[in-house]
Amino acid sequence: MTVRERLVSVKSQLSNAFRSYAAEFGIVGPAGRQNVAALIKRVLEDDSLPEMARDLFRFQADEYAAAEARLAKIEAKLMKWHRDDDISRRIATIPGIGPIGSSMLSMKAPPPETFR
């Protein structure tokens, strides 16, 4: 598993945990990555929650934001690698392979000269 894959997994786990804890307090949010930020905002602004619960939700929100920031940093580096690497750019022309996948393939594949 790559660092990026691990962070994507952590981010998913954190969002699912946040959603389930919010549901325990009667706050239900729609599933999906695109809805996490709105749910976090809604929960943190809910004055009906006990202060201790809001503190714990803030802790989770900070953890989620940190994972997002680390992931964005790694993806920016991968995109830079992709733009600077001719092989990665060529691999990305294959249907179904994007810049992240092509960057990983370019980094991990042995040089073509290795093969007869």
65 and 45 in a common domain: yes
**Together in a domain, 42 and 91:** no
Walk along the chain (116 residues) and give the pLDDT tens digit of each residue. Answer: 588 899 999 999 999 999 999 999 999 988 888 999 999 999 999 999 999 999 999 999 999 999 999 999 999 998 998 999 998 999 999 999 999 889 988 888 887 788 87
Work out how many domains the chain is built from and give that number: 2
The Cα-based distances of 38 to 22, 32, 35, 45 in angstroms read 12, 11, 6, 11
> What pTM does this model have?
0.81
> Which burial class, exposed, middle or buried, applies to 76 when counting CB atoms under 10 A from its CB (0-12, 13-18, 19+)?
exposed
Instruction: Report which residue type is found at 19.
Output: R
Domain that holds residue 114: 85-116
